[in-house]
A and B are shown apart, each in its own frame.
Chain A
Amino acid sequence: MEVVLNQTPNAAAPSGRRVVWRRPEFASGLFIGTLALLLALPVLVVLGSVLVPASEVWRHLASSVLPDYVANSLLLMLGVGLGTLFIGVGTAWLTTLCRFPGRRLFEWALLLPMAMPAYIIAYTYTGLLDYAGPVQTLLRDWTGWGYGDYWFPAIRSLPGAVLMLSLVLYPYVYLLARAAFLSQSVAVLEVGRTLGNGPWGAFRRVALPLARPAIVAGVTLALMETLADYGTVQYFGVATFTTGIFRVWLGQGEPAAAAQLAALLLVFVLTLILVERGSRRQARYHHTAQRHQPIRRYHLHGWGAFGALFVCLLPLLFGFLVPAGQLAVWSWTRAATGFDARFLSLTLNSLSLAGGAALLALIVALLLAYAQRLIPTSLVRSSVRLAGMGYAVPGAVIAIGVMLPFAWLDNALDAWMRATFGVSTGLLLSGTLFALLFAYLARFLSVSLQTVESGLTRIRPAMDEAARSLGLRPAQVLWRVHVPLLRGSLLTALLLVFVDVIKELPATLALRPFNFDTLAVRAYELASDERLADAGPAALTIVLAGLVPVVLLSRSIARSRHVQSP
């Protein structure tokens, strides 16, 4: 179905031009394919180990722990999928299309939990809700109960992990759903209203179907992040595929079997991607009307307003305010020792890495997404899909996938130089920031790619054709038509990768150069030693560093949509 409100002239390119285009199209297709293949290299290295037989290990796994891995991973995905969907879409709808007290605050504040790394929120809630933590101690003081007299939900459990991950991952859905709701033509919703739909009807029948690609993209991102999570599930003692990969690899010393587990994980991911593609194929929704009018928001009164406030407050409270408060308390107790001179260099390292990676990922994502639109051949399509697979692969696995080919290349070059010129070039790529940035790109490209793509799908192809027929070259179509229309999506992509990289730990830990530490490394070293309070300052700074772009960009997205409060 295509919602067309403003009839734009549908000018197809003259067929003669297509012939002239064939050769460059093939060349750029090849270039895009090579670039995508390069970015998929870490994942391909992992998949390559599938060919090594490891049937002995598999027999052992199948008879002992594999059913647990599968069941836990599926339950985790189901729980986090539902959790992020309900929180993300619900809050996005309320803040975009309803009017209630605090709406303008929630608009950006609901993004705050995104700055909170999952493993850190897990640590803080464990500290708060444990038997010895303040909540249960208070409960015992009030009631006089002792150990075993009462039931208290165990935070370190599968439901606990679902809760933690949903709380920090729902902003992906919120952000994309909100951008979609904002970009929807006001006219569509008004037509819905004139046809007698109330707020709920307009949401269910009009806004939700139109926002579907964006929502599905958001949930897919959240689920890929869930599958790749190691810190939270490991700390909570929930055996998933990812903890299994590490156990088989490191504990049993079976890299081939571990790679096969990782390959199985990729099957989960591919299924997710196919489901997402499938959901788009049935219907294409393009944003056609370019007239942006202020959205007329539904006024909520009384209980309705109270309900909306409550629904928006809960995720903010538990996803950000409570854990950040705990981190602040911990940091306060360590203020004297925690913020030393090295702190500044840690912060600078984190910020520059995240900024560089976010910019790179945006450029590459734009290139790939645009190439896919311009040259819709199966080679381009499938190689772009391939390049985006790294997101669901645990960071440590990506790290190995970068380490092996880079070191191989370095050593091969060195051997050749020694043999030919008697000069040793040593390691040119391994152990450099380049290797680290490459790993970030391989891991997080999917984030910017999905965001840019879901933005692009809302610009109808007719507009490209119109622009082309008016004499613009493809590059000019990109810069003069798409980029201005995509501004919100581009900023979103930049922000998501930036925050992801600030939080990233395993690849940073494995690939960084000598004497180069980041905030995440610092927080991890202390937290993994169970010195949670000592980890407070670094963890809090990660959150604060993530906050600045979250707030800035959130406001800028709202502005770019010309939305004013009525």
Chain B
Amino acid sequence: MSAPRLSDSLVLALSATLALTLSGPAAAAPETEVNLYSARKEELIKPLLDRFTEQTGIRVNLLTGKAEALLQRLKSEGRNSPADLLITVDAGNLHQAKSAGVTQPIDVETVNAAVPANYRDPDGHWVALSVRARPILYARDRVDSGQLSTYEDLTDPRWKGRICVRSSDNVYNQSMVASLIAADGIEAAETWAKGLVANLARPPQGGDRDQIKAAAVGECDLALANTYYLAGMLDSDDPAERDPARALAVFWPNQPGQGDGRGVHVNVSGVALTASARNREAALKLVEFLLTPESQAWYGQVNGEYPVREGIDISPTLVGFGPFEADDLNLGRLGELNAEAVRVMDRAGWK
């Protein structure tokens, strides 16, 4: 009987250790708190949440992470999920959440009035909170903006060895190719991706800021990057960030008169109300709060994103980028076409 005794004592120790470390989220009375799963990083949402708590007394429990993982967690937790809201930094994942059946309509008059229709799900399952544009950035000293016109034109041989873009693992590139599929069809998008890969100055690597820095030092002349990265670098106190950004300028492609004139590719960060939400009222209050003019102005001031609401003052840096027409494709399409976009990029050899 000796062997089981050994096992027993160790198991006892094991379970005691586990019991000590086990702790669930503290239960609180309903509607005094909201549980938020956020793919927006803590730094880029917490100040707003703190202000919300100050104004309403509603506590916000925050869990940040990658959108896909949060969505997976939401799906597996099902109707018992503690999450009331899901915030993502791209439309594709909001669409995936809706398709997975883990969301419910946000039917609030003020929300519908504040957000233009193409920045909302047609059935109301998600609304955008901020807009992120992905234009062409060019080196001021080597490129004349008159040479630029559309995304499609980037495959022209005259750009050979002159373009920088990050890996196709990134959802911003996946969404961009999805928008090209929506505009030009799968075959044309694949030809485009192949042409772009042929014109790259170096194998895709790093993030968007890396592309900006590479273009600034001359590894390439054009970079595809989201504007808030450029804005963040321009507003930085660190010369290593600021100086490269100053060497580049924004070109808004596909504006009226250029190609099909559909507008520059934009993506959004947005929010969905979960199907399992137990703090529905408080959650909707938070959504409304995130769309107030003050909160909307914050996105632009702090993170260089464009407000989703019209008539909001944007930062001088963003004003300096100039006005643009955005592609008015309903952003749910980006989610529908995402898998196809990845396969297109695989076939095109976009690393």
Contact = CB atoms under 8 A, between A and B. Distances in A.
Verify that A and B bind, or say they do not: yes
A432 B22 contact: yes
Given A132-B216, A239-B351, A411 B73 contact: no
B219 A147 contact: yes
**Which of A250, A356, A433 has the most chain B CB atoms closer than 10 A to its own CB?**
A250
Given A430-B77, A437-B21, A530-B210, A132 B244 contact: yes
Contacts of B240: 132
Contacts of A473: 2, 5-6
Nearest to A438: B18
Contacts of B20: 356
B207 interface: yes
Nearest to A506: B69
Interface in B1-54: 1-7, 9-10, 13-14, 17-18, 20-25, 35, 41-43
24 contacts: A24-B1, A28-B6, A63-B347, A64-B343, A132-B216, A148-B218, A235-B206, A237-B351, A249-B68, A251-B174, A251-B341, A252-B339, A254-B339, A356-B17, A403-B73, A427-B82, A431-B73, A433-B23, A434-B22, A514-B25, A514-B82, A525-B64, A530-B209, A530-B210
B134 interface: no
Contact of A526 (B43, B204, B210): B43
A197 interface: no
A374 B2 CA distance: 12
B213 to A, nearest CB: 5
Interface of A: 21, 24-25, 27-28, 31-32, 60-61, 63-65, 126, 130-132, 146-148, 154, 156-157, 234-237, 239, 243, 246-247, 249-254, 333, 352, 356, 359-360, 363-364, 366-367, 370-371, 374-375, 396, 399-400, 403-404, 407-408, 410-411, 414, 424, 426-428, 430-434, 437, 473-475, 478, 506, 509-510, 512-515, 517, 521, 525-526, 528-530, 533
Contact of A509 (B66, B77, B174, B217): B66
B21 A434 contact: yes
Given A399-B69, A431-B82, 17 more contacts: A61-B346, A64-B349, A130-B213, A154-B202, A247-B169, A352-B21, A360-B14, A403-B73, A407-B78, A411-B80, A473-B2, A475-B2, A475-B6, A478-B6, A509-B69, A526-B41, A529-B207
A236 B203 CA distance: 10
Nearest to B5: A475
A396 B206 contact: no
B77 A25 contact: no
Contact of B14 (A64, A363, A400, A433): A363
Interface string B195-214: 00000001111111110011
A156 B205 contact: yes
Contact of A525 (B41, B244, B349): B41
A251 B339 contact: yes
A234 B42 CA distance: 22
A165 to B, nearest CB: 16
B279 to A, nearest CB: 13
Given A65-B346, A407-B77, A414-B80, A428 B69 contact: no
Nearest to B65: A509
B166 to A, nearest CB: 8
A84 to B, nearest CB: 24
A21 B346 CA distance: 59
Given A253-B339, A525-B64, A356 B21 contact: yes
Contacts, number: 206
Contacts of A32: 7
B61 interface: yes
B76 interface: yes
B63 interface: yes
A69 to B, nearest CB: 11
Nearest to A468: B2
Nearest to A403: B76
A434 to B, nearest CB: 4
By Cβ-Cβ distance, the 7 closest A-B pairs, closest first, are A237-B205, A407-B76, A251-B342, A475-B6, A514-B61, A147-B218, A530-B209
Given A363-B14, A428-B24, A530 B205 contact: no
A60 B238 CA distance: 45
B97 to A, nearest CB: 12
A234 B204 CA distance: 10
Contact of B42 (A21, A154, A517): A517
Interface residues of B, number: 73
Given A132-B217, A515-B61, A510 B73 contact: yes
Contacts of B10: 363, 366-367
Nearest to B342: A251
B80 A410 contact: yes
B77 A431 contact: yes
A380 B219 CA distance: 57
Nearest to A68: B351
A512 B7 contact: no
B317 interface: no
A506 B17 CA distance: 24
B80 to A, nearest CB: 5
B46 to A, nearest CB: 10
Given A403-B76, A474-B6, A432 B23 contact: yes
Nearest to B209: A530
Most buried by B among A246, A247, A424: A247
Contact of A247 (B206, B217, B342): B342
A437 to B, nearest CB: 6
A363 B13 contact: yes
Given A64-B347, A253-B338, A408-B76, A514 B62 contact: yes
B239 to A, nearest CB: 11
B39 to A, nearest CB: 11
Given A360-B17, A411-B80, A430-B77, A24 B2 contact: yes
A374 to B, nearest CB: 7
Contacts of B9: 475
Contacts of A414: 80
A9 to B, nearest CB: 22
A64 B343 CA distance: 9
B342 A433 contact: no
Nearest to A250: B68
Nearest to A404: B76
B69 A510 contact: yes
Contacts of B169: 234, 243, 246-247, 251
Contact of B343 (A252, A432, A433): A252
A333 B238 contact: yes
Contacts of B68: 249-250
B159 interface: no
B127 to A, nearest CB: 23
Contacts of B43: 525-526, 529
A432 B20 CA distance: 12
Contacts of A254: 339
